[in-house]
Amino acid sequence: MVAFSSLALGLSAIAGAFAAPTADVPDFELSSNQSLVRRQDYNQNYKTNGNVNFSPTNNGYSVSFSNAGDFVVGKGWKTGTTRKINFSGSTSATAGTVLVSVYGWTTNPLIEYYVQEYTSNGAGSAQGTKVGTVTCDGSVYDIWKHQQINQPSISGTTNFWQYISNRQSKRPGSGTVTTKCHFDAWKALGMNLGTHNYQTLSTEGWGNAGGKSAYTVSAS
């Protein structure tokens, strides 16, 4: 596979690439400290060849994989926004390229975006041109911009931009991503988002990837 993860992610436009969102899910639930958190309503489930065992739950997911040619699985929301996303869990990688990201799409303009929290090779989807840095939630991220030409997307095979915040200090475990911090930094660099489509915390792998992930996900 070419080293563009969007080649997999963009295939969400193909029927069956993602499981149907859970129906009739209440907007909020009580967390362990009795505060209201917004529930997830979208399971991301794209897999090609190899062994990928994805198990979504009502508040997260787990996945184990080996010899995986290409996959993206995760948990999130049918509609993205400037939510603060909290995740707790772990990822281990034994082969290939593996990453854990807050991931989503917008339309008008068509943008594929990542906030990469963990990358097994240090780069993940970060390609193209590095255009700046931003400090969000106490961590420094490198900002990348890359144009995909005639590639699959949620709007079919077309041209689109990737916006990527790549965390300098990788964390395969727990954390918080304040999406507004990244969105504002991108906007200040002329990297504007459009109307939000889905938004997830996802594990991705390609290149005969091996490893496992398990996370709970919430938003505040």
Residues whose CB is less than 8 angstroms from the CB of residue 22 and which lie 6 or more positions away in sequence, other chains included: 41, 42, 43
3-state secondary structure of 188: helix
Closest to 4 measured CA to CA, from 141, 157, 126: 126
How buried is residue 129: exposed, middle or buried, by Cβ count under 10 Å (0-12/13-18/19+)? exposed
> Distance between terminal CA atoms of the chain?
37
Place of tokens 């065992």: 53
Strand partners, 79: none
Instruction: Write down the CATH number for the domain with range 6-219.
Output: 2.60.120.180
Residues whose CB is less than 8 angstroms from the CB of residue 150 and which lie 6 or more positions away in sequence, other chains included: 157, 158, 159
The string of pLDDT tens digits covering residues 32-52 is: 555 555 678 899 898 889 999
- What is residue 121's predicted lDDT score, i.e. its pLDDT? 87
Mean pLDDT taken over the chain: 85
Place of tokens 């505040």: 220
Catalytic residue selected from 124, 163, 204, 205: 204
Instruction: Give the C-alpha separation, 111 to 163, whole Å.
Output: 7
The domain ranges of the chain are 6-219
The string of pLDDT tens digits covering residues 45-95 is: 988 899 999 999 989 999 999 999 989 999 999 999 999 999 999 999 999
Closest to 210 measured CA to CA, from 125, 91, 118: 91
3-state secondary structure of 67: strand
The string of pLDDT tens digits covering residues 153-210 is: 899 999 999 999 999 999 989 999 999 999 999 999 999 999 999 999 999 999 999 9
Judge if the upstream peptide bond of residue 21 is cis by omega within 30 degrees of 0: no
Active site residue 117: no
Residues whose CB is less than 8 angstroms from the CB of residue 26 and which lie 6 or more positions away in sequence, other chains included: 39
Active site residue 29: no
Catalytic residue selected from 41, 70, 112, 117: 112
pTM (whole model) above 0.75 = yes
